[in-house]
Amino acid sequence: MYLVGQALSEELSVDRPATLDHEMPYTSSSEVDLPWKTPDGPSHSARLVFTTRQRTVIVRNEFNRFAWKTALEKAGIPTTRENGFHMLRHHFASVLLEDGVSIKAVAEFLGHADPGFTLRTYTHLMPSSEDRMRAAIERAWSTRPAEGPSALDVP
């Protein structure tokens, strides 16, 4: 799968998760030619995560109507705007932030020209500074060798 955001200077390739092949076999990765960076940009080959059954580019409205809303209904989730397909974008950002990816990188992946916009939008999803501080200190202090000098050994 290729991530192509407005602010990306280069293509970023990500392997398609095998679980998608199991859960949505008809959407297996398909390679198509799309314009790069702008609608009239040079043609560029890209692998899509979601496609039509004919392995062509799927129009957002069709995906929402025939796949996304159907999946929500089967899962017993209301098909409201709050649960719309755009939530996958927010999920993507939250997974990256939870794993410690920088706000600057997340902004780039989402195609945001201003990382400040990304920070304002997703700051509530970031682990608290206190939690991150504790984790950083725990990692640093837990790597001290069991053998060797200690500060307690100093006269």
Answer yes or no: do 4 and 71 share one domain. yes
Residue 116 lies inside a defined structural domain of this protein:
yes
Residue 150 lies inside a defined structural domain of this protein:
no
Residue 41 lies inside a defined structural domain of this protein:
yes
Cβ atoms of 49 and 16 within 8 Å: the answer is yes
What pLDDT, on the 0 to 100 scale, is given for residue 8? 47
Answer yes or no: do 19 and 42 share one domain. yes
How many separate domains does the chain show? 2
Q: How far is Cα 31 from Cα 25, in angstroms, rounded to an integer? A: 16
Answer yes or no: do 138 and 116 share one domain. yes
What pLDDT, on the 0 to 100 scale, is given for residue 22? 64
What pLDDT, on the 0 to 100 scale, is given for residue 148? 66
Answer yes or no: do 73 and 22 share one domain. yes
Helix locations, 44-102, DSSP H: 60-63, 69-74, 87-98
Instruction: Give the domain range for residue 90.
Output: 86-144
Answer yes or no: do 138 and 95 share one domain. yes
Blockwise average pLDDT, block size 10, the chain, 155 residues: 45 63 61 79 79 78 85 91 84 86 92 92 76 83 69 64
